[in-house]
Amino acid sequence: MMKNKRIQAQFLINGISDDVPQLLLEENNLVFRNELKEDVLIPFSSIISIKILPINRIYNPSVGLLKDGMKGFIAHRNAGVFSIYFNYFVDLDIVTTTNTYLFESLDLENASKFILKLNETNKIVDDVNLIDLFKTKSIDELKEYMDKHYKDWAKKYNLENPRTTLDENMIRLARNKN
């Protein structure tokens, strides 16, 4: 069904009404809810392992949509400096007795809360020690830490650097910067 295809989803402790794919944490299950509100149950009892790893994607920091729909400049932690800017997400690889589910979070903040809660009841394979970072750093501190360490993690843990669908010129520029 979802085997070997990574799905982007919002990792949530409580579901939301938005039509975005959601990975929900329930008492005895993980539930993947797609845009059509169809649910796939992943019972904890069937889970063999859960692995988390960070991932980055290139983000264009200079242009964004303002609330009125006009394009404008967005301030960010590298404001005023032309740079390739990365957004960080969390990959969640869930191996069950019957399937392998691959997810990528849609943001870092909800993902960190989700992972911390999930880790209370399920042992997570966390090679990079993200859980300790989630426990001790604010999201801004976490992003700055990841800016400093992601390149080394990518080499050590064979992570995509960056994961992207952008054209080759942007990828080349990012690799040279990173």
Q: DSSP string spanning 38-62?
A: -EEEEEGGGEEEEEEEEEEEEE--S
Q: Which is more confident, 55 or 62?
A: 55
Confidence of residue 76 (pLDDT cuts 50, 70, 90): very low
**Alpha helix (H) ranges present in the chain?**
109-121, 130-136, 139-157, 168-177
**Domain-wise residue ranges, the chain:** 6-58+85-177
The answer to whether residue 170 scores a pLDDT higher than 80 is: no
CATH architecture of 6-58+85-177: Roll (2.30)
Any idea which residue has 């069904």 for tokens?
A: 1
**Do 90 and 125 contact (CB within 8 A), yes or no?**
no
Q: What is the pLDDT of residues 1-56, one digit of tens each?
A: 445 689 999 999 988 888 889 999 999 999 999 888 889 999 999 999 999 999 99
Confidence of residue 88 (pLDDT cuts 50, 70, 90): very high
β-pair partners for 83: none
What pLDDT score does 14 carry? Answer: 86
What pLDDT score does 32 carry? Answer: 95
